[in-house]
Chains A and B, each alone.
Chain A
C-alpha cells in the first residue's frame, strides 16, 4: 500500500501533460494526487501498513525500503495537505502549466519518499530529488529577482546534499555489520563516541542548511520572497521539515551520544536563530521577508527542543513541525494573496485592509489568526508547540529557553506592528481598486486556519501519533548526567 503513495504522484505527474493542456484541467488532475495521498495517509492512521523492502542496487546497498512510524506519518499527511492546498492556490495564469504541475508533484514525490524512506541512501536520493524541481519552480515562476534567488538556493541545497551524502556513506562504511544503510541497522549501529561526534557535525551542517538555521540561512529570505506563493507554501511548510526530520532520525536516533555532546551548541544555535529571526522580522518592510524571517525564528525554537531531547521537548518538536508547517503556509498564502490583490508587498504602502466595504476583510481576518498563531496565542496550534518546547527544554537548557521565550515575545511585536500597519488604519481609496477575493482564492487559507484552530484546541492531533516514537528516541537522552559522565 505504501508504494501507492509514491506511484500516484509519479504517474499523474508524468501523464498529466499528455492528457490535458488547459490550465484549469491540469490543476484539477494534479489535485487528485495529493487528495489520494491524504486519504491514504488518514487511513494509515488506523490501519498501519506493512513496510516494503525491495532490492534496487544491492552493490550500493540501496534498497527501496519504505515504512511509516510515528515520526513520518504525520509529516506524510502534512505534505499531502500542503501539496493539495498549494495546487489549489496555484493561479490559472501561470505560464507553462504542463511543466508547473508535474514539477510540484515531483517535489511532493521527493518529500513523501524522504519521509517514508527506511534506507539512508534512499533518503539522500529523495533529498536530492527535490532540489532541481524546487529550483526550477522558483526560477521560472518566481518574482522579479528569481534568477539570483534560484541560483543561491541551488548552491546551498547542493552543498547540503553533498555533505549529507558524505555523512550517509560514512554511516555505511563505518557500519560494523557491513554496507547496510537501512534505518533498522543504523539505529543499532552504536558507533564509537568519537565517530559520532564528527559525523554529527556533518549531519548538523547538512540539515541546518535546510531548516534553515543561522548562520547557514543565507538562501532563505531571498528564496522565500521570490518564490511563487504555492511553491513557498510547500517549501516553508514541508521541505524545511525535512531538515528537522533528518536531524531527528540521523542525529538523535542514530548518533545519540554525539548528540548529547553537541547539544549545548545546538541549543545555543537554536536560541540565537530564534532571536535573530524575530529581530530581523521586526525590521522588515517587505511582507514576504517578514514572514520568511519569522520562519527562521520558529525553526530556531525547534532546534532548541531538538537539542534538549527530552520526551516532552521532542513532542514539542513534532508539534512544532506540524503547527509551523500549517501556520507558515497559511501566512505565506495570505501574504501572497494580499500582494496579488493590492499589487504591492511593501508595508508602507498598505493600510486599512480590514475595511469591511472596500478592503480585504476576509483575508486580513485570517491573517490576524495566522499572526496570532505564529505569536503563540493560546487556542491556536502555535501555542501548543511552543508550550511543549519550552516546558521540555527548560530543565536542560534554561538560558537558551529564556532566549527563545524572549524571541516568542518579539514575535508578538512584529505580528502586532505588521497587522496594525496593514490591517487597521485608513484604507487609501486611491489604491483600493481591486476585486475582492473569490471563495476559490480564500479556500486554502480558510482550510489552513481551521486546521490551525483544531490543532490549538485539540493538541493531541499534533502530538498523538508521534508520542510513542518520540518517547523511544528521547529515552536515551533524558538526563545531562550522562553527558557529564562521558566527558
Chain B
C-alpha cells in the first residue's frame, strides 16, 4: 500500500483510488444527479438531432432562419443506442425522440400554437446552448485527437470543396463568392463538421442518461460510484464509435469526413468535449466586464476556466449566460422527486434555476470523475494492482487531475459540502 497523499484534495484522491467519484457518495447526491441527468437528457435528445440536422441538411444555407425547425425525419432519426433495432442497445426505450420532448415541443411553457410562434416567443428548447458548446470546441481546437488537424488537411479541403460546389450548384452568385473568398466557406464547413462531431457525441450520452434514470427508478443504482461506473462502462462501450460528417443534398450524400478516416468517439469527440466545455469554455458576456489589458482573461487558451466545473452558478438567470439556457431547458423536465427537493430548500419555486444549476454542477463533476477513471483504466493501471510502482503512477495521474482544481474558481471543495445548494 502506498502512503497517503499530501495533496490539498487528498481525501478526494483517496476516494478516487478506492473506485469512487469526486462527488461524495450520499443518497442525496445520488438522487440529485440522477434526476438532473434525466432532465439534461431530454433537451440533449433535441440538441443532437438538431446538430446533425444542421450539419447534414441545413449545411451552408446563408440565411438559416429555420435551422431550429428540425424536420420530422430527424426527430424520428433512430438513435443507434436505443430502440429494438439497435446493435448496441444502451437504453431500453424507443429510438425516436423522447415523448416528453415531443410533448414540450408542442406546448412549451404556454399553449399549443404554431411552431413559428413558439420560436419567436422563445418558448422552445434553447438550441443556442448547444451551438455555444460547439463554438467552444471549435474555438479551442487543440484538445487532443486528430480531428482538428484533419480539418486542415488536403483530403478534407478536397471533400469540402466538392461539397460546397455541389451545394451551390446553379447558384452563380454564391459560387462567385466562393471563388473570391474560398477560406470563408471552408471555415464554415469546418464549423459544420464540429456540429456533426458534437451531435454524434450527444447521441450517445442521451440514452446513457435515460438508462441511468430508469435503473435508478427501479433500484438498480444505489450509490454514486455505481452511477459513475455505469458511465465508465458506457464510455468504453462506445469509445470506438466512428465520428464523421456526411452531407445530404437531395439524394446525394457527400462524405466530408468519411468513417474510413478512423476518428473515434472517445478521442475525437468525448475528450475534446470534456476539455472544451467542462473545463475551458469562454467567459460569458453580460455578467461582468473583463479587462483584457489587465489580463483578466488568460492569454493562454489552456488556462481558460469558465466551464461548468469552475462556474459560479449564482448569476444564472441573468442575461448573457449560455448555461442559463441549459438550466431553463432542464427546468421543464425535472422528475417529480427532484421538484419536491427543490421546493423544500432555498426559496422554493423562486430559485429553482440556481438549485438545479448547482445540482448540475455536481453531476458534471461525477461525469468528469467517470472520464478520469476511464482514462486511468485505459492508460494506467487497475485500482487493485499489487505493484506499488503502478499504484504510484495512478496516484500521480489523479494528483495531476486534481491540480487543475487548485485554482480558486474551482468548485471541487464546494461540492463536498451538502449545504452548497
Contact = CB atoms under 8 A, between A and B. Distances in A.
B347 A358 contact: yes
Interface of A: 352, 354-358, 426-427, 429, 435-436
B317 A357 contact: yes
Contact of B317 (A356, A435, A436): A356
Nearest to B318: A356
Nearest to A356: B317
A436 B354 CA distance: 15
B208 to A, nearest CB: 30
Given A357-B353, A358-B314, A436-B347, 13 more contacts: A355-B317, A356-B317, A357-B314, A357-B347, A357-B350, A358-B346, A358-B350, A358-B351, A426-B288, A426-B312, A426-B315, A427-B314, A436-B350
Interface of B: 288, 312, 314-318, 346-347, 350-354
Of residues A356, A426, A436, which shows the largest number of chain B Cβ atoms within 10 Å of its Cβ? A356
Contacts of A427: 314-315
A66 to B, nearest CB: 50
Contact of B316 (A352, A357, A435): A357
A358 B353 CA distance: 10
Contacts of A352: 314-315
A356 B349 CA distance: 12
Nearest to A361: B317
Contacts of B354: 357-358
A368 B342 CA distance: 31
B221 to A, nearest CB: 30
A434 to B, nearest CB: 9
A3 to B, nearest CB: 49
| Chain B interface SS verdict (over half) | loop
Contacts of B316: 357
A357 B312 contact: no
B367 to A, nearest CB: 24
Contacts of B288: 426
B178 to A, nearest CB: 45
Q: Interface majority SS on A: helix, strand, loop or mixed? A: loop
A426 B347 contact: no
A426 B318 contact: no
Contacts of A358: 314, 346-347, 350-351, 354
Contact of B314 (A429, A435, A436): A429
The 4 closest A-B pairs by CB, nearest first: A357-B351, A356-B317, A357-B354, A357-B317
18 contacts: A352-B314, A352-B315, A355-B314, A356-B317, A356-B318, A357-B314, A357-B316, A357-B317, A357-B350, A357-B352, A357-B354, A358-B314, A358-B347, A358-B350, A426-B288, A427-B314, A435-B347, A436-B347
Contacts of A357: 314, 316-317, 347, 350-354
B347 A355 contact: no
Contacts of A426: 288, 312, 314-315
Contacts of B350: 357-358, 436
Contacts of A436: 347, 350
A355 B314 CA distance: 8
A419 to B, nearest CB: 15
A423 to B, nearest CB: 12
A301 to B, nearest CB: 34
A436 B317 CA distance: 16
Contacts of A355: 314-315, 317-318
Nearest to B346: A358
A356 B320 CA distance: 13
A393 B317 CA distance: 47
A354 B287 CA distance: 12
A435 B350 CA distance: 10
Nearest to B327: A357
Q: Which of B288, B315, B346, B352 has the most CB of A within 10 A?
A: B315
A436 B348 CA distance: 11
A358 B317 CA distance: 10
A4 B242 CA distance: 88
Nearest to B350: A436
A260 to B, nearest CB: 53
A355 B357 CA distance: 14
Nearest to A354: B318
Contacts of B353: 357
Contacts of A429: 314
A352 B287 CA distance: 11
A352, A354, A357: which has the most chain B beta carbons within 10 Å? A357
A426 B287 CA distance: 9
B353 to A, nearest CB: 5
B234 to A, nearest CB: 33
Contacts of A354: 318
B331 to A, nearest CB: 11
B325 to A, nearest CB: 14
A211 to B, nearest CB: 41
A429 B346 CA distance: 11
Contacts of B352: 357
Contacts of B318: 354-356
Nearest to B312: A426
B317 to A, nearest CB: 4
A354 B347 CA distance: 15
A358 B347 CA distance: 7
B8 to A, nearest CB: 22
Nearest to A429: B314
A90 to B, nearest CB: 25
Nearest to B358: A429
A416 to B, nearest CB: 15
A436 to B, nearest CB: 6
B296 to A, nearest CB: 15
Nearest to B351: A357
